[in-house]
Structure 1
Amino acid sequence: MVALRIRLTPRGHLLCEPSADAPALDEAVAGRLGEAFARGSGDGLLRLGAAEASQALPPAFVWWRDFASRYVAALCGQAAGAGDERDLPEIPAPAEGELASLVLTAPMMPGAEYLTPQVLRDLWEAIGTSLAAALARSGAGLQELLRRLNPAWTVVGRVHFNLAENRRDPEAPFAFMATYAAQLSAQGRVQHLPLGQALREYGGAENRQRLLSLLLPVHRAAENCAWLRAVVENGEIYHPLRWSPQEAARLLTSATELEQAGVVLRMPAGWQAGRPARPQVTATVGTRAPSKLGLDGLLDFSMAVMLNGEALSEAEVAGLLAGTETLVLLRGRWVEIDRERLGPTLARFRAAEDLARAEGLSFAEAMRLLSGTSLGREVEDPAAAEWSRVTAGPWLAETLRALRTPEGDGIDPGVALRGTLRPYQKAGVQWLHLLSGLGLGACLADDMGLGKTIQVLALLLVQRQRAEGKRQAPCLLVAPASLLANWSAEIARFAPDLRARILHSSAMPTEEIQRFTAAEAAALDLVITSYGTLLRLPALAEIGWRLAILDEAQAIKNPGAKQTRAAKALQAQARIALTGTPVENSLSDLWSIFDFINPGLLGTARQFTSYTKGLADRGHNPYGPLRELTRPYILRRMKTDRTIIADLPDKTEVTAHCQLSQRQAVLYARAVEDLARDLESADGIRRRGVVLATLLRLKQICNHPSQWLDDGQWAEADSGKLARLREIAEVVAARQEKMLVFTQFREATEPLAAFLAGIFGQAGLVLHGQTAVRQRQALVRQFQESEAAPFFVLSLKAGGSGLTLTGASHVVHFDRWWNPAVENQATDRAFRIGQKRNVLVHKFVCRGTVEERIGELIATKRELSDAVLTSGEEITLTELSDEALLRLVALDLTTAMRE
């Protein structure tokens, strides 16, 4: 068995590649698919849709196989009478609306966010191009080529089973006739002939193969349909037949088997979607606002049995259930009845109505009914959903509309926010405000760089503003320790009036943290802590928070992890999860995040696993109900969205604060001690050399101890910067975007490339001073054009100028040059003419070290900055006094150490 996944790239290409967490495929099947997709998307889809039709495959492969099979099926339907079989008929792509519907049915898979009707249209054309090339290479005809791929596609035309109403014959009110598609008319319409005529047209030994190919679907269907087998064996299939309602019902019951075998069904013109009218149990939920907020809020519920928009009387419903026929004539039209499904559905809705009248229907159960999921029920029949429909009443419909299409009108934190919200950010704040006001949880899953932080801060300011001076419960925010400084900086920048406290050893003594009480929390607007501190401080779970907010919420995707359990134990009126990684990637991850923000909405872990098991085998759009259930609580905006891009600046720069590992802190402190000792006896040129050597040593230690010690280890646990780089790179990899990583040290390029290769699952590119000049343009071309080169590690001197690397939308400065002009020049390798995406720049800075202090000098240009900046903005520290220099490089152990 081979673990294989299918991935859609941002450029609309399909890749089939090994992946450790992908489902296992038969080795032979995986080999064939891998080889075909390696030649291109068209070849891969042709192989998948035409040759692997009978293979058991994972959901994403099944979906793409169904898409490709549509092409092959259309081809076979047009093959008859299309001329020389060496000429490939033109197969037009499905209509725009049909392609848009297909996009909505796509399963969760890597790159699903890039799926659009245009991408499907391009891939449809790629199948045709690959098939034409294969036809030319084969030297054979179309039929032979299809036979080599899969014998099931060798049918020249299609057999049609035609059912019509015949109301002039009360004893046999239906007529049946089997026809076949002989050829296409000039208008592209299929011309039908009675199947019996095929016996005459294809008579003779020379046409025997064509006749067998034509009848193959019928014989294949007869293997599973006893009634059809009898009709074929006695020759009735070749003649028009008078049918009773019971005989017509047999055809309806066998519709799936017949269509899967390749037989086309044509039903009476008055039957919508090829089926007679069906009574539907309908319900309306949420006509009025609930009596209380949250998932336990109680909603009203009313039901009826409808037929084509008209309510049936109790007597009519009782009569339908009491009969035995599948087809019943009611109100002058034929009605299809499946009592095994209609009866239980009716009983379930009546029970829900009785419960709603007595106690009220919970918001969570109402949402499950509305979306069509059946979490929590032991027995589930997906087909039963066809016999029922739940609609939202006025209050619930308006609420869901506001959640699904948030707008920013009316949201304004005023002067308390020292910044301007962009329109999509206002919409995000409005959405968070509405959900939290309803006592419901939210997952803000915006792309990295779209401003999740400022949206949360604006929400807190809006809620404080609308409290009109009334004291509110405090909010708790939990984030990775490496991001606490970022939150502190953003609060100081955008919301300095918020009463916030960082509950972490980097900001306050451990003894004070342990003594933290609910009374202290009540005096604050926001308490910020790390996942590690949350584990060590169970008192936080005993405080009643207004909002519990998790940053980088992928930290709780593992339901069994201790920090996940600690987060879910928090008591809050509403919960918010922030993540730049789409939650659709894994269904179990989705459940864990929802179990935090809206506990119980997706049922228990066991119920959810049972529900999602084999989801891809449940017919058309199997993921629709789950998407519908979760959509109101997930807000996902991407930088590739034109409405977002048009509103964003071209380049966004953020400081990525990093903590030191214990090993880094020890080496850093030792270096500062050595500097202090050497300064006592050094002067002149020797002093300048000591200072420069120490600064270089400190920079290397901040990067990684192994860079200074030259031991070749480069363990991730030894460097806070590597930990931060992983957090950023994992998001970039999940989005299938590209990144540049700059370092001023050539010796760091290869270890960084090896580290990133483990995250991206494939090797990237490296360029430094020793890279041959003639190779550099080839590396640039490879990075720009190849989707197999996800990252580029460059030394700042060699790669910081003269190169165009607009394939990247992320730039990481792993260490600082301390010259803004040089750094900006390197950033502009990605941010230049030809760049169509927003560029997000991450500048790594170790907290509590010389990196942080010089970063502050560059950013603020205060008096000391003016004293040490040359006209070229190069930081020159050798002229500082001993006292000022030691202050600059001193280690602030409290803020520098990470957990």
Structure 2
Amino acid sequence: MPSINTDHLAPNITPTGHLLAVPQTDAPPVPEDIALGHAFHAGAGHGLLYLGSTVIGRALPPAWGWWRDFAMRYVTALCTTATDGDISVIEPDARNIERLIDDAPPMTGAEYLTPEVLATLWGEIDNALRLELASTGGSLQAFLRSRHPTWNLVGRVHFNLAENRKDPDAPFAFLATYTARVSAHGKTQHQPLSRSLEEFSGARNKAQLLSLLVPVQRAAERCDWVRAMLESREIYHPLRWTPTEAWHLLQDLPALEAAGIIVRLPGTWTAGRPARPNITASVGTKPPSLVGTDALLDFNLAVSLEGEPLSLAEVRKLLKGADGLQWIRGRWIEVDTRKLGRILQRFEDLGQAAQSGLPLNDALRLLAGASDGGTEAPEEHDWAQVVAGPWLADTLENLRQPEGLARVEPGPELRAQLRPYQHVGVQWLYLLSRLELGACLADDMGLGKTIQILALLLILKREEPNPRPSLLVAPASLLANWASEAERFAPGLRVLVAHPSVTPAETLRDLDKAQLAQIDFVITSFGALLRQPELEAIRWRLAIVDEAQAIKNPGARQTRQVKKLQAQARIALTGTPVENRLADLWSIFDFTHPGLLGSAKDFAGFSRRLAKAGHFGPLRSLVRPYILRRLKTDRNVIADLPEKTELKAWCHLSPVQAALYERAVQDLAAALDGAEGIERKGIVLSYLMRFKQICNHPSQWLGDAAWRPEASGKFARLRELVDVIVAKQEKVLVFTQFRETTEPLAAFLGSLFGREGLILHGGTPVSKRRELVRQFQEDELTPFFVLSLKAGGAGLNLTAASHVIHFDRWWNPAVENQATDRAFRIGQRRNVLVHKFVCRGTVEDRIDQLIETKQQLVKDVLEGGAELLLTEMSNRELLDLVRLDIHRAQET
């Protein structure tokens, strides 16, 4: 098990929507004096309250900083709504919550972040506040002040600014007021601040007066003009103000609000501020003449005031005027001449460079606010905006909401009925393919990414004259799945498996364009792609990568080779949430959308700037149209899923396994020579056991206790599956019929999950089994349960699992189904994926074929015990059953 530094805590949203602080080896450190672990140990509400009320002004990693921002919104709302002795129920602002989610940085479980989850956590903060406040026995004001001096309920002084158009020399009026009391109708009553001197006169009320004026004192420390008004006592009187004085107040709004003063501006000002001239750049008004990243979009520039266009003369007049408030078109507007001029110049330079058209990637970065590192978005958002023209806006809307796309049908050539969400996926992929843009289909495992791709290929074959062949690159263990699914569901596709286990190497070497023109779909593995560099010289219709997390390491040789592929459009398929790790996201998008996220160095700098600003919205906005991710828990998906889905997990043999297996076949042939009766049955049964053990792991047969993961193809396949399960924070049951396999499996799984799981076998005391089941069902951090088939195959309720893995086959469907039903039974509310491990080219493969074809062998005898029937085979039949097909067994 890897050691984890408990000082490195990271936020973790579980599939059930709980927020945990979990040790994570690669998490950025939190300052030692910030006791996150202790706070979250009491519950998410207490942890968030600690973050939002106490850890103010401290440098935090982006993910924790984002949660602090969320919690501070609760405390802020508390300060502005609560009165002493009365804490009303505070509801979060739905629109602000949705914007906050858009800006969330990458973190584990970010895909489970929804308004409903945040609303629940908001309620948990509220409950924690009430509990902690009750335990102090003091006032809310004292409680918040003890957490951090920023939180102070006495900050109810108002600075009021109003227009006074009858006075041309001083067209503004200022008055400081305070909230005196709340009426019987629940309305706050304001009084001029001067009245506070009368209301709180006398020594007994002096403390209340001083408390009321604390926010003003704090503001005076930050704003010279407030200090001057306080010292001259002008703050207690109505004042005539010039535009310059009003402008000072507008500039210092953040400082005043931070001090606890509420500022009220003229009601005629939209959104509480004077209007600002707005520079609007629109891209993509008309369809481009080209498609893909070669597309060049039109670029148009305009300056407007509250939607009304300004003439060039008016813009020049504004730029020549003074900073602050200027009078134009019968209203006061806010002008920052330097900022306005700089933005206008930048957009004019862009327009000049884009006279022949703006490259699509540049337009998309600009639109997302991700150009120049995305740093201009927070600062200049109110002064400038980039909008999508009609064509680009419609296209992006279709990509973000593919449910509304025109339906495209694969027709009868697809021998399956697509589910509604799969139809949506095909429509989305079809649109991007027609635009020759990349796509990342990131549906949960088991939702049918394969059949969506097959349907797309059928549509393209039917609609495009002389379509180019498409290429799929996948882990070797998945080639058989793709080939069998294509044969089953899309027999009209002409498929070539470009792998020596299926197609002779010399045939692959001699492939020419004429032969490829007769092929629709080429399937190969990452390893085979490295050995066939000629594939990179072909321009494919689609280049598809399955299990795209395999190219998350940009420096890996197979990643570099995959990115050399030429295609009209590229598609990445993955079951993991790609946005949760920035480096993985960049590498996958460097394949699907080369250049969109810049170079690795550019992207690293961009990410740092986003993290520093706490503003990840530009990145999410940039990639969102090209990622389609549906969760098994989505309401419109779960209702349409079968209760359980059974999948074959094909495994190869390592060189050591292949050598041991081949020798065992030879030894069996020699042992059978002349053997008869009971002796022969014993030989057959012992060798069948030996074959199973070798297929599991060489150490199981050799008894050397080494159990090196790289020595077993099943361990390699288990790693591939668990990588996705870990990323999804799901739970898994792993069944084996061998007790001696349970401990090594649990050790290997523990290294993959980063935490321990559970084991149950025949030696587990009966008294302990109930506690193991309870822990697996209730503890969200217990990720796996390894069970021997006899001990764990019946009588247990383990519905917390989303996956069931049969590491080795019992060769008895009834027994396997009974074990599967430990997870799939009454009380299960999730789709269960059942993975059955089978080593190709071995006895496991051939018996699986017998089970699938439901031959008389299975019907009559197999369910009663396959081994007994196999002992009755002739020597020739038996050796043919167990022989090793080395090409199928050692796919790479």
Shorter chain as normaliser: what TM range?
Answer: over 0.9
Which structure has more relative contact order (CA 8 Å, sep 6+)? It is: 2
1:106 corresponds to which residue? 104
Trace 1:747-786 onto structure 2 (pairs within 5 A).
Answer: 747-786=740-779
1:22 corresponds to which residue? 27
Deviation of 1:4 after TM superposition, in Å, equals: 2.1
Cα distance in 1, alignment partners of residues 199 and 740 from structure 2 = 79
2:678 corresponds to which residue? 685
Cα distance in 2, alignment partners of residues 239 and 104 from structure 1 = 45
1:266 corresponds to which residue? 264
Q: Deviations over 1:592-633 (max 9, x none)?
A: 2111111111222232222221314436xx222222221211
The answer on 1:646 being equivalent to 2:639 is yes
1:330 corresponds to which residue? 328
Q: Deviations over 1:362-410 (max 9, x none)?
A: 2222222222221579x84641232122332232222222211114643
For residue 263 of structure 1, what is the amino acid of its counterpart?
I
Name the SS of the counterpart of 2:869 in structure 1: coil
Trace 1:443-842 onto structure 2 (pairs within 5 A).
Answer: 443-467=440-464, 470-618=465-613, 622-842=615-835
Name the SS of the counterpart of 2:542 in structure 1: strand
Aligned pair partner of 2:363 in 356, 363, 366: 366
40-49 or 263-272, larger mean C-alpha shift: 263-272
Name the SS of the counterpart of 1:152 in structure 2: coil
CA contact (8 A) 1:375 1:603 kept: no
Pick closer, same or farther for the CA change 1:875–1:69 going to 2, 3 Å. farther
Trace 1:208-247 onto structure 2 (pairs within 5 A).
Answer: 210-247=208-245
Cα distance in 2, alignment partners of residues 615 and 207 from structure 1 = 49
Cα distance in 2, alignment partners of residues 62 and 728 from structure 1 = 32
Cα distance in 1, alignment partners of residues 882 and 453 from structure 2 = 35
Name the SS of the counterpart of 1:876 in structure 2: helix
CA contact (8 A) 1:146 1:154 kept: yes
For residue 173 of structure 2, what is the amino acid of its counterpart?
A
Cα distance in 2, alignment partners of residues 634 and 205 from structure 1 = 66
The answer on 1:393 being equivalent to 2:389 is yes
Trace 1:154-165 onto structure 2 (pairs within 5 A).
Answer: 154-165=152-163
For residue 293 of structure 1, what is the amino acid of its counterpart?
V
CA contact (8 A) 2:219 2:255 kept: yes
1:118 corresponds to which residue? 116
1:59 corresponds to which residue? 62
Deviation of 1:186 after TM superposition, in Å, equals: 4.5
2:299 corresponds to which residue? 301
302-311 or 201-210, larger mean C-alpha shift: 201-210
For residue 386 of structure 1, what is the amino acid of its counterpart?
D
2:417 corresponds to which residue? 420
Pick closer, same or farther for the CA change 1:19–1:537 going to 2, 3 Å. same
Name the SS of the counterpart of 2:804 in structure 1: strand
Cα distance in 2, alignment partners of residues 767 and 185 from structure 1 = 67
CA contact (8 A) 2:102 2:620 kept: no
The answer on 1:403 being equivalent to 2:399 is yes
870-879 or 409-418, larger mean C-alpha shift: 870-879
1:5 corresponds to which residue? 10
Name the SS of the counterpart of 1:758 in structure 2: helix
Name the SS of the counterpart of 2:281 in structure 1: strand
For residue 359 of structure 2, what is the amino acid of its counterpart?
S
Cα distance in 1, alignment partners of residues 835 and 809 from structure 2 = 11
Unmatched segments (≥5 aa) in structure 1: none
Name the SS of the counterpart of 1:52 in structure 2: coil
429-438 or 160-169, larger mean C-alpha shift: 160-169
Deviation of 1:880 after TM superposition, in Å, equals: 1.3
For residue 33 of structure 1, what is the amino acid of its counterpart?
L
For residue 502 of structure 1, what is the amino acid of its counterpart?
V
Pick closer, same or farther for the CA change 1:703–1:195 going to 2, 3 Å. farther
For residue 385 of structure 1, what is the amino acid of its counterpart?
H
Aligned pair partner of 1:43 in 34, 39, 46: 46
So what's the TM-score if we normalise by structure 1?
A: 0.94
Q: Deviations over 1:825-879 (max 9, x none)?
A: 1111111111111111111111111111111111111355457535688873111
Pick closer, same or farther for the CA change 1:728–1:188 going to 2, 3 Å. farther
For residue 418 of structure 2, what is the amino acid of its counterpart?
L
For residue 789 of structure 1, what is the amino acid of its counterpart?
T
Deviation of 1:644 after TM superposition, in Å, equals: 0.8
For residue 442 of structure 1, what is the amino acid of its counterpart?
A
823-832 or 167-176, larger mean C-alpha shift: 167-176
After superposition, the CA RMSD in angstroms is 2.2
Cα distance in 1, alignment partners of residues 201 and 756 from structure 2 = 62
Pick closer, same or farther for the CA change 1:205–1:685 going to 2, 3 Å. farther
Deviation of 1:796 after TM superposition, in Å, equals: 1.1
Deviation of 1:5 after TM superposition, in Å, equals: 0.8
Deviation of 1:107 after TM superposition, in Å, equals: 2.7
- % identical equivalent positions: 60
Pick closer, same or farther for the CA change 1:562–1:211 going to 2, 3 Å. farther
Pick closer, same or farther for the CA change 1:213–1:73 going to 2, 3 Å. farther
CA contact (8 A) 1:659 1:898 kept: yes
CA contact (8 A) 1:376 1:603 kept: no
Aligned pair partner of 2:174 in 154, 160, 176: 176
Name the SS of the counterpart of 2:674 in structure 1: coil
1:92 corresponds to which residue? 90
CA contact (8 A) 2:20 2:40 kept: yes
Cα distance in 1, alignment partners of residues 8 and 320 from structure 2 = 52
Cα distance in 2, alignment partners of residues 118 and 875 from structure 1 = 56
Trace 1:850-861 onto structure 2 (pairs within 5 A).
Answer: 850-861=843-854
Q: Deviations over 1:427-455 (max 9, x none)?
A: 11111111111111111111100111111
Deviation of 1:519 after TM superposition, in Å, equals: 4.4
CA contact (8 A) 1:42 1:130 kept: yes
Q: Deviations over 1:758-804 (max 9, x none)?
A: 22222112111111112212221221121121211111111111111
1:435 corresponds to which residue? 432
Pick closer, same or farther for the CA change 1:199–1:674 going to 2, 3 Å. farther
236-245 or 740-749, larger mean C-alpha shift: 236-245
Deviation of 1:517 after TM superposition, in Å, equals: 4.2
Deviation of 1:291 after TM superposition, in Å, equals: 0.7
Deviation of 1:97 after TM superposition, in Å, equals: 4.1
For residue 287 of structure 1, what is the amino acid of its counterpart?
T
CA contact (8 A) 2:496 2:523 kept: yes
Deviation of 1:77 after TM superposition, in Å, equals: 3.0
Cα distance in 1, alignment partners of residues 776 and 173 from structure 2 = 65
Cα distance in 2, alignment partners of residues 240 and 705 from structure 1 = 90
Deviation of 1:145 after TM superposition, in Å, equals: 2.8
Name the SS of the counterpart of 2:759 in structure 1: strand
Cα distance in 1, alignment partners of residues 296 and 431 from structure 2 = 18
2:315 corresponds to which residue? 317
CA contact (8 A) 1:79 1:156 kept: no
Name the SS of the counterpart of 1:386 in structure 2: coil
CA contact (8 A) 2:155 2:214 kept: no
Q: Deviations over 1:650-705 (max 9, x none)?
A: 11111010111111111111221221111113221121111111111111111111
Name the SS of the counterpart of 1:524 in structure 2: coil
Pick closer, same or farther for the CA change 1:234–1:537 going to 2, 3 Å. farther
1:279 corresponds to which residue? 277
Cα distance in 1, alignment partners of residues 263 and 659 from structure 2 = 77
Pick closer, same or farther for the CA change 1:198–1:605 going to 2, 3 Å. farther
CA contact (8 A) 2:735 2:805 kept: yes
Cα distance in 1, alignment partners of residues 426 and 151 from structure 2 = 54
Aligned pair partner of 1:70 in 51, 69, 73: 73
Q: Deviations over 1:12-45 (max 9, x none)?
A: 221112212212211221xx11111011011101
Pick closer, same or farther for the CA change 1:193–1:770 going to 2, 3 Å. farther
2:126 corresponds to which residue? 128
